[in-house]
C-alpha cells in the first residue's frame, strides 16, 4: 500500500500515517504537469498526500483510474474524485469495486469516454459518461450525463438501485433498468430532437421522469408522475398513475396483461382526428378509471355509465352504442329513464358495443332513453 512517492506538508516524519488514514483518491490532469495524469491518495485530515500512480494523459487514463480504484479497494472502500478533464478509457470498462464512490467535479467538466461497471454499494456522481453497468446491489447513480448512442445506457440486474437526477441524451439509445427495488427519476431527452430514447424497466419504481421517447415495462412496476411523449407499454400487475402521456402516435398498450391499474392520468393527442388512448387486446382484470383526455382522444375504461337513446322508425328492432370498455363487460345493467319507457326485450354486449333489442320495432318518431352501467372484472 505504500507504493509511489510521499509528499508531506507538515508531518514529514510520519509518512506512514497517510496510507493508514487515507479515505480518498484524487485523479487529475494538472496544468503544471504537461500531458500528465496523476492519482493522489489524500489523508483524512488533509495534512498530506501520496502519489500512487502517474502517467501520460490520454494514453494511461484507464491504468491510472484502475490503480486508484485498486488502492481504495485494498482499504475496503472510499471515494475517488475525478477532477475536470477528459479521461479516455480506450475501449476498456472501468471496474469499480465494492463500497467505492466515484465523483466528478461536475457533469459538464468531468468526462469519461467509455463505460463504468459497479459492484455492491457503489455510487457514481457528477460525471459525463457513456454508460454505467450495475453488477451489484444497493448502487446509486445520480447527477450524471449519459451521452452514448449505444443500445444500453444503464443496466442493473440487482436490487436496491437508485438512479435519479441524470440526463440521458443519446440519439436513438436504449436505457434498460432491471432488478427489484429500483427507484428511477431522470430526464431522457436526445441531443437531436429528431431522435427518441426507449426506456425498458423490469421491477421497481419509475417516477418523476421526463421521457422524449417510449417506455416499456416488465411486470409489477410502479409508474407515477412522469411525462411520456412517445408511447407506454406495460406488463402485468403494473400501476400507472398521475402521468402525462402523449398518445398521438402510440396508445398505451396493456395487451395480453392481467391486473394492470391505469388511474388518474392525462392522455393527450395533438392529432386533428380522433385516436384511441389504449390498445388492450387480451387484457384481463384491468382497472382503467378517471383518466382525463386533452385533444382528440378516445379513452377506454373498466367501468362506465352511458346513456343510449332509441329513435324509432317503425322497422328497426335493435339499437347499439359503443361502451368504450377495454373488453366485453362482465356486468351490464340497463334501466329505462322513466316509467313510460319499456324495458328492452334483449340485451347483449360485445367487446365494443352495447345492444338492446325489441320484439316489435318502436313506432316512427318514438324516443326512448336508457341508462346503462357496464363493468369488466
pLDDT, average across residues 20-38: 79
Tens of pLDDT along 275-293? 999 999 999 999 999 999 9
Contacts 24+ apart (CB under 8 A), 166-170: 166/141, 166/142, 167/107, 168/197, 169/145, 170/146, 170/197
Residue 247 has pLDDT above 70, yes or no: yes
Q: How many domains does the chain have?
A: 1
Tens of pLDDT along 202-234? 778 899 999 988 899 889 999 999 999 988 999
Residue 162 has pLDDT above 90, yes or no: no
pLDDT, average across residues 348-369: 95
H or E element in which residue 115 lies: strand 110-118
- Residue 16's pLDDT band, with cuts at 50, 70 and 90, is very low
Q: What DSSP state is assigned to residue 69?
A: H
The CA distances from residue 83 to 5, 49, 100, 108, 347, in Å, are 21, 16, 16, 11, 73
pLDDT of residue 199: 83
pLDDT of residue 153: 57
- Residue 332's pLDDT band, with cuts at 50, 70 and 90, is very high
DSSP string, 122-176: -EEES-EEEEEEE-SSS-EEES-EE---SS-SEEEBSSS-EEEEEEE--TT-EEE
Please provide the size of the chain in residues: 377
Residue 235 has pLDDT above 60, yes or no: yes
Any domain includes 66: no
Show Cβ contacts of residue 13 under 8 Å, excluding neighbours closer than 6 positions: none
Tens of pLDDT along 317-331? 999 999 999 889 999
Cross-strand pairs, 307: 371
Residue 14 has pLDDT above 50, yes or no: no
pLDDT of residue 284: 93
pLDDT, average across residues 324-351: 94
pLDDT of residue 318: 96
Q: Which residue's entry shows cell 466515484?
A: 102
Residue 104 has pLDDT above 90, yes or no: yes
Any domain includes 366: yes
- Residue 51's pLDDT band, with cuts at 50, 70 and 90, is confident
Any domain includes 195: no
pLDDT of residue 101: 95
pLDDT of residue 156: 60
- Percent of the chain topping pLDDT 70: 89
pLDDT of residue 320: 96
Cell of 211: 421521457
pLDDT of residue 195: 72
Tens of pLDDT along 64-97? 999 999 999 998 999 999 999 999 999 999 999 9
Any domain includes 341: yes
In this predicted model, which residue has the larger pLDDT, 158 or 55? 55
Give the domain range for residue 315. Answer: 303-375
Any domain includes 168: no
Which of these, 205, 128, 200, 198, lies nearest to 162 by C-alpha position?
205
Distance CA 175, CA 192 (A): 17
Any domain includes 335: yes
pLDDT of residue 6: 25
pLDDT of residue 273: 92
Which of these, 153, 211, 142, 145, lies nearest to 178 by C-alpha position?
153
Our CA angle for 303, 308, 311, nearest 5°, is 170
Residue 172 has pLDDT above 90, yes or no: no
pLDDT of residue 43: 66
pLDDT, average across residues 21-43: 82
- Residue 48's pLDDT band, with cuts at 50, 70 and 90, is low
H or E element in which residue 117 lies: strand 110-118
Amino acid at each position: 500500500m505504500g507504493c509511489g512517492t510521499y509528499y508531506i506538508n507538515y508531518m514529514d516524519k510520519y509518512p506512514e500515517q497517510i496510507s493508514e488514514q487515507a479515505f480518498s483518491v484524487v485523479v487529475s490532469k494538472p496544468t503544471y504537469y504537461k500531458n500528465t495524469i496523476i492519482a493522489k491518495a489524500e489523508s483524512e485530515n488533509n495534512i498530506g498526500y501520496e502519489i500512487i500512480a502517474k502517467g501520460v494523459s490520454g494514453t494511461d487514463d484507464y491504468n491510472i483510474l484502475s490503480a486508484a480504484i485498486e488502492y481504495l479497494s485494498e482499504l475496503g472502500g472510499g471515494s475517488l474524485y475525478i477532477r475536470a478533464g477528459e479521461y479516455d478509457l480506450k475501449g476498456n470498462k472501468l471496474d469499480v469495486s465494492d463500497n467505492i464512490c466515484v465523483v466528478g467535479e461536475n457533469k459538464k467538466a468531468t468526462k469519461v469516454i467509455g463505460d463504468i461497471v459497479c459492484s455492491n454499494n457503489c455510487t457514481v456522481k457528477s460525471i459525463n459518461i457513456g454508460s454505467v453497468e450495475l453488477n451489484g446491489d444497493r448502487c446509486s447513480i445520480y447527477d450524471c450525463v449519459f451521452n452514448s448512442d449505444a443500445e444500453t445506457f444503464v443496466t442493473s440486474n440487482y436490487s436496491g438501485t437508485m438512479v435519479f437526477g441524470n440526463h440521458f441524451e443519446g440519439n436513438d439509445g436504449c436505457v434498460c433498468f432491471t432488478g427489484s427495488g429500483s427507484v428511477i427519476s431522470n430526464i431522457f431527452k436526445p441531443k437531436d430532437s429528431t431522435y427518441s430514447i426507449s426506456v425498458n424497466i423490469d421491477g421497481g419504481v419509475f417516477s418523476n421522469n421526463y421521457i422524449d421517447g417510449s417506455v416499456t415495462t416488465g411486470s409489477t412496476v410502479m409508474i407515477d408522475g412522469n411525462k411520456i411523449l412517445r408511447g407506454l407499454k406495460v406488463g402485468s400487475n403494473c400501476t400507472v398513475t398521475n402521468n402525462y402521456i402523449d398518445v398521438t402516435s402510440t396508445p398505451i398498450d396493456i395487451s395480453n396483461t392481467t391486473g394492470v391499474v391505469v388511474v388518474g392520468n392525462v392522455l393527450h393527442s395533438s392529432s386533428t382526428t380522433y385516436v384511441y388512448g389504449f390498445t388492450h387486446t387480451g387484457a384481463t382484470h384491468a382497472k382503467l378509471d378517471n383518466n382525463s383526455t386533452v385533444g382528440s382522444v378516445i379513452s377506454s375504461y373498466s367501468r362506465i355509465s352511458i346513456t343510449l337513446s332509441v329513435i324509432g322508425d317503425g322497422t328497426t328492432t335493435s339499437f347499439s352504442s359503443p361502451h368504450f370498455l377495454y373488453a366485453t363487460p362482465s356486468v351490464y345493467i340497463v334501466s329505462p329513464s322513466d316509467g313510460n319507457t319499456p324495458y328492452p326485450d334483449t340485451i347483449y354486449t360485445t367487446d365494443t358495443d352495447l345492444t338492446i333489442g325489441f320484439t316489435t320495432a318502436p313506432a316512427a318518431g318514438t324516443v326512448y332513453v336508457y341508462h346503462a352501467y357496464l363493468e369488466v372484472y
